[in-house]
């Protein structure tokens, strides 16, 4: 088991945001790349490029962000910002994710009123939607190898992945129930496995 290194406990070679301003700019840039959701971008920027999070930390933080109320990526930004600069960092990350994208989306809403009927515009939106679905699915696929070191074992983890996928994508079970039932079983099972 490896409790996540973070905050003061982080090794000095672990890349970190330099300041709340760095957080604001990084999350603004990150949000502006996220068409149809920011999640795929968070993984690419925070884990692969800036390395502010390890893949394990991303998976753990994402789980927490997912079960708390509120937009997931906002929760994730809040947690990352808070970890390095406390409340100021949390506010900087959330403000970065919302401010400029809000201006952009208002401009788009005004433009949309003019061009909604144009078939090329509708086609472009459809194409981007198909790609963004692929981006998010790939984010999950890339995290699969992390499960090899899981206390439940790789095969059991894959069964849980398949179960969740089938319930949400196939049977359209409401998310709350899936989290409660499948997540509950997985957590209790893990709790028993990591007994001291």
Partner 1 sequence: MTIAMQWHDWLALFGQYLLLSLLSISGAITTVPDMHRYLVAQHGWLTDAQFSSSVAIAQAAPGPNVLFVALMGWNVGLNAGGGIGAGPMAWLLGFFGLMVTMVGIMVPSTTLTYFATRWGHRNRTRREVRAFKQGMAPVVVGLLIATGWVLAAGNHAGNAPAWHLWLLTGVAALIVWRTRIHLLWLLGAGALLGAVGFV
Residues in CB range of 152: below 8 A, 6 or more apart = 160, 186, 189, 190, 193
Nearest to 7 by CA among 81, 78, 67, 105: 81
- What is the footprint of partner 1 within residues 52-91 (CB under 8 A)? 59-60, 62-75, 78-79, 82-83, 87, 90
- What is the footprint of partner 1 within residues 123-182 (CB under 8 A)? 123-144, 146-147, 150-152, 156-158, 160-165, 168-169, 175-176, 178-179, 182
Report the largest interatomic distance among the alpha carbons of the chain, rounded to a whole angstrom: 64
CB of residue 92 to partner 1, shortest distance in Å: 13
User: What x/- string results for residues 103 through 122 when contact with partner 1 is judged by CB under 8 A?
Assistant: -xxx-xxx-xx--x--xxxx
Judged by CB under 8 A, does residue 10 bind partner 1? Answer: no
**Crossing angle for the helix pair 55-67 and 119-143, to the nearest 10 degrees:** 120
C-alpha separations of 177 from 90, 162, 168, 170 in Å: 30, 16, 10, 15
Q: What is the DSSP letter of 12?
A: T
CB of residue 187 to partner 1, shortest distance in Å: 3
Judged by CB under 8 A, does residue 187 bind partner 1? Answer: yes
CB of residue 4 to partner 1, shortest distance in Å: 7
Judged by CB under 8 A, does residue 25 bind partner 1? Answer: no
Determine the 3-state secondary structure of 38 from DSSP. Answer: coil
CB of residue 21 to partner 1, shortest distance in Å: 20
């Amino acid at each position: 088991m490896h409790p996540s290194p973070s905050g003061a406990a982080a090794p000095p070679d672990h890349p970190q945001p330099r300041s709340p301003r760095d957080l604001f700019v990084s999350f603004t840039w990150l949000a502006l790349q996220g068409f149809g959701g920011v999640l795929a971008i968070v993984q690419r920027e925070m884990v692969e490029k800036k390395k502010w999070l390890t893949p394990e930390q991303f998976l753990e933080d994402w789980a927490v962000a997912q079960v708390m109320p509120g937009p997931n990526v906002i929760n994730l930004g809040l947690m990352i910002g808070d970890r390095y600069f406390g409340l100021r960092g949390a506010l900087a990350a959330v403000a970065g994710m919302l401010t400029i994208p809000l201006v952009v989306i208002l401009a788009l809403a005004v433009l949309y009123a003019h061009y909604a009927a144009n078939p090329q515009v509708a086609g472009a939106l459809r194409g981007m939607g198909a790609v963004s679905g692929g981006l998010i699915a790939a984010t999950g696929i890339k995290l699969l190898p992390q499960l090899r070191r899981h206390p439940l074992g790789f095969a059991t983890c894959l069964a849980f992945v398949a179960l969740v996928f089938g319930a949400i994508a196939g049977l359209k079970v409401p998310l709350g129930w899936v989290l409660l039932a499948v997540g509950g079983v997985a957590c209790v099972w893990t709790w028993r496995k990591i007994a001291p």
